[in-house]
Structure 1
Amino acid sequence: MGSALGKLGNPKAFFSARPAYLPLKQPAASENTSLRALLESHCPSVLLPFRPAWWLFNGHLQTLYAVLGDFSVVDHVAYDRRLLQIKDGGTLGLDFTPPASDRVLPDDTPIIVVLHGLSGGSQESYVRAILAPAVMSTHQGGLGYRAVVVTFRGCAGVPLTSPQLYSSCHTDDFRQAVLYISHRYPRAPLLGLGFSLGANVLTRYVAEEGEECRLVSACALACPWDLAANSDSLHATWLSRNTYAKAMGGNLKRMVSQHNDSIMKFPDSRLAQSLPELFSRKSLTLGQFDNLITIHAGGTSPPFPFKTPHHYYTYAASHQVLGDVRIPFLAINSDDDPIVKYVPVYETDNEWVILVVTRGGGHMGWFGTTGNVTRRWMTQPALEWFRATVEKIDVPRRAVRNIRIVDGWLVESGREHLGCRDNGEGGKIEGGVIQKGMLAGL
């Protein structure tokens, strides 16, 4: 994978030496463009310098501000939640915006399908930073799109109805969400957006689907890629172990504790049997939580359970599947991310993939200042990428699996063991409302 590096401070972009070429839409339908040319001409902000706010001058400060800053009054987004029941008994939250009461959109309106971070949800500031302008009407300066945040089992008020949680490698829940959205809006182009752990799930999903992927394009932000290497780095020093690793482990512990009564309905499950030890810990790191819970209850069998966290991290890593991606795919990381230190910039030469590494930004931060307003730099590149890939080029319509209803379940041909069904309304969700006891931004 080659690279393009501009002036000092500019992001470094890595492109394949064998660029993918796609036809431009009208009025230049007879012409083709490469993904690199598309990025350079229609996503200029991704190659411009990220200029951090002067008081957030390193990755630690950027990351801590993402967690501790007050974003409750910016980027307001409201959602209609629907609950999606999965065949294995689990439940997902699908948070649709704009709410139906706000305005009615055409059925062919592009939809951004979002996967949040480790223990977040649709209320997270990093999600709203992109969705607020994405779903804003065009006459107000937005894209005028629709968005759906896929909220993991047990996160952000979604009920836990089975003894299974979620993980970096369990893609079937997202697969079922995309299936449902595709069935509900068959004429709408679907665009994938993932943050941190959600970016890892998105990358693996896109790679696993290959030529049959239902998404037109995807954008992965702060993806953890090589989970084994990044976990080792995260737990290697006192600072990262006792700040980031314990913050993430603590969030997951609090999330599980909110579902104690539901989990105890499955007393024979490994998840239920792990609760006494989990609650006996005053604090625990992400790695300790994964050892106690995730490697056993983070997905279906196979591949779960895993023998150790290292076996799980090795299996779940997304950098090793980048070669299987077959849709326009943009990934952005920062070079001072204290949580993700290893980015696979030289490990793939896939013509569908563009990797960008910014100078600074921390983990899910990218806070810069325009005038007296502090905003996330990542918003504009993501919006430009989605607009370019859905409005400027014709991504080939690929043959996808047929959708049908079998015994009340929505299923795909050849995957009848999977399935989902609409379980009704889950209420209104207001972005910016902090989950009680949880650290935001992770």
Structure 2
Amino acid sequence: MNKTFSPPWWATSPHVQTILPLLTKVAGPRLRRERLELSDGDFIDLDWQGEPSQGRPILVIIHGLEGSAQSHYARRLLQACAALQLCALVHHHRSCSGEPNRLGRSYHSGDTADLAFNLARLKARFPDSPLYAVGYSLGGNVLAKYQGETHSASLLTRAVVVSAPLQLAACAKRLEKGFSKLYQGYLIKQLQQKLRAKLADPKLSNSMPVADTQVDELSSFYRFDDKVTAPLHGFSGADDYYQRASGMAFLANIASPTLIIHARDDPFMTEAVIPSRHQLSAAVEYELHHHGGHVGFIQGGSPWKPRFYLEGRIMQFLTGEDHAGTL
């Protein structure tokens, strides 16, 4: 498969690349839910497509901030998996499967513990099955960090990281400027809504680091992360969180084959997310495209029925085969 991406004339804008996929209908896959109970009393939900069996590869899909199995990119990748008869599951972050999680804490960009737990459980159940993973945006940062943290002990045979905010501080600042503030506002409202629900829960309200009267003030990622994300997850503040959770510092330690895909015009990011060659291990293949937006990469079709680059490229990297005629 051609590893170069070029958008059609009508999709050269990064905002068209980012927003149009959100508005494009993608058929919902038939999924089977499995709940994993965690050691701290919380849970995460997995949505399965296809039946796992010994020796059959399993693809783990890790969604982005406030995403789920219903996100456009997850649905498209699940369609691709179905076409290739590849068993797949969506790993939901805490609180993202349609049901609130039980604890005051939820998830964050550097939270690899739940992913590691899930992968260990999958490997124990299906020791002969290769495990693949694809992470998008926040989920991509989590996946990159997991790969670097575990080094040669990673349970993944291959992995793909898409549109990951590998330098969180720079991305938070980018989303405070220009048109990108609209994306920040859209996502912050969802986070505020979940925060208000926890503050209204008598079992959780006393453990929350802010009061209901302060929620409206948390109107940027930096403010929200400084007052909520950081204290709930053991960081001293947003700066400490961004430094310790960013995936960039872990790329040099990745030992299993990993593809990272970025767009230079991603409205969520800056040049700071683009790694230099010395920041990448020999196991990392890096693709930087001039266009693509944030988790977009529309490569053809029409505005009413766009065609995408990501699914074919992802499957080519994971399986080693070109599926251009199938997907």
TM-score > 0.5 by shorter chain: yes
1:290 to 206, 225, 233: 225
The answer for the alignment partner of 1:70 in structure 2 is: 24
Q: May I ask how many residue pairs the two structures share in their alignment?
A: 318
Q: AA paired with 2:231?
A: H
The answer for the alignment partner of 2:182 in structure 1 is: 243
TM-score, normalised to structure 1, is 0.68
Segments of 5+ residues of structure 2 without an aligned counterpart are: 322-327
The answer for the alignment partner of 1:329 in structure 2 is: 258
Segments of 5+ residues of structure 1 without an aligned counterpart are: 1-43, 99-103, 137-141, 390-442
The answer for the alignment partner of 2:37 in structure 1 is: 85
Alignment of 1:277-426 (within 5 A): 277-281=213-217, 284-297=219-232, 299=233, 304-306=234-236, 308-342=237-271, 343-370=274-301, 373-388=305-320
Alpha carbons of structure 1 residues 261 and 367: separation in structure 2 relative to 1, 3 Å: same
1:19-45 Cα offsets, whole Å, 9 max, x none, are xxxxxxxxxxxxxxxxxxxxxxxxx23
For residue 336 of structure 1, give the secondary structure of its aligned residue in structure 2: coil
1:117 to 64, 74, 90: 64
Query: Quick check: 1:254 aligned with 2:180?
Result: no
Alpha carbons of structure 1 residues 105 and 191: separation in structure 2 relative to 1, 3 Å: closer
Larger radius of gyration: 1
1:68-103 Cα offsets, whole Å, 9 max, x none, are x132xx2431211111111111210111113xxxxx
Contact 2:52 2:58 in 1 (8 A): no
Contact 1:111 1:145 in 2 (8 A): yes
Q: AA paired with 1:204?
A: K
Q: AA paired with 1:350?
A: S
The answer for the alignment partner of 1:163 in structure 2 is: 104
Alignment of 1:173-212 (within 5 A): 173-212=114-153
Contact 2:199 2:205 in 1 (8 A): no
Alpha carbons of structure 1 residues 352 and 85: separation in structure 2 relative to 1, 3 Å: same
Q: AA paired with 2:60?
A: V
Q: AA paired with 1:239?
A: F
Contact 1:192 1:217 in 2 (8 A): yes
TM superposition shift of 1:208: 0.9
Q: AA paired with 1:180?
A: R
2:210 to 261, 264, 274: 274
TM superposition shift of 1:329: 0.6
TM superposition shift of 1:159: 3.2
1:398-431 Cα offsets, whole Å, 9 max, x none, are xxxxxxxxxxxxxxxxxxxxxxxxxxxxxxxxxx
Contact 1:191 1:215 in 2 (8 A): yes
The answer for the alignment partner of 1:217 in structure 2 is: 158
- Distance in 2 (CA, whole Å) between partners of 1:113 and 1:275 is 37
Alpha carbons of structure 1 residues 220 and 111: separation in structure 2 relative to 1, 3 Å: same
TM-score, normalised to structure 2, is 0.90
For residue 210 of structure 1, give the secondary structure of its aligned residue in structure 2: helix
Alpha carbons of structure 1 residues 207 and 158: separation in structure 2 relative to 1, 3 Å: farther
Alpha carbons of structure 1 residues 347 and 246: separation in structure 2 relative to 1, 3 Å: farther
Contact 1:107 1:187 in 2 (8 A): yes
For residue 78 of structure 1, give the secondary structure of its aligned residue in structure 2: coil
Higher relative contact order (CA 8 A, sep 6+): 1
Q: AA paired with 1:285?
A: S
TM superposition shift of 1:207: 0.9
- Give me the identity figure in percent: 25
Higher percent of residues as helix: 2
